[in-house]
């Protein structure tokens, strides 16, 4: 009986600590003047750099993916490269990403 009571208590504690998150995708379209997290030689390192930066800013990325192909429109700084960074965060943190140039997907 004691073990059963302990099991119920643990189950209640775990359930009360669980927090549901509602993920929202945010996107950043890379431009010719590359963001500081980009590693031109490796998408994996770029992804890792972006994740480290976001966490340092208190933003918890649920998922990060990099899509697209490098096909620049022009040579000016504000010209898109064709690479897109997609970050899924809890909807309560999406406003923080807007500050860094991300847009709602």
What angle (nearest 5°) sits at the alpha carbon of residue 58, between those of residues 101 and 35?
A: 30
* Half-sphere CA count of 28, side-chain side, radius 13 A: 24
Domain boundaries 21-104, CATH class: alpha beta
pLDDT above 60 for 81: yes
What band does 4 get if pLDDT is binned at 50, 70 and 90? very low
Residue 28 confidence (pLDDT): 97
Domain boundaries, the chain: 21-104
């Amino acid at each position: 009986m004691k073990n059963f009571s302990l099991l119920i208590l643990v189950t209640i504690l775990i359930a009360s600590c669980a927090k549901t998150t509602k993920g929202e995708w945010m996107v950043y379209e890379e431009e010719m003047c590359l963001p500081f997290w980009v590693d031109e030689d490796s998408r994996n390192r770029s992804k890792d750099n972006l994740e480290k930066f976001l966490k340092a800013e208190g933003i918890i990325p649920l998922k990060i993916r990099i899509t697209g192909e490098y096909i620049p429109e022009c040579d000016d700084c504000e010209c898109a490269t064709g690479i897109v960074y997609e970050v899924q965060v809890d909807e309560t943190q999406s406003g923080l990403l807007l500050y860094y140039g991300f847009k709602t997907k």
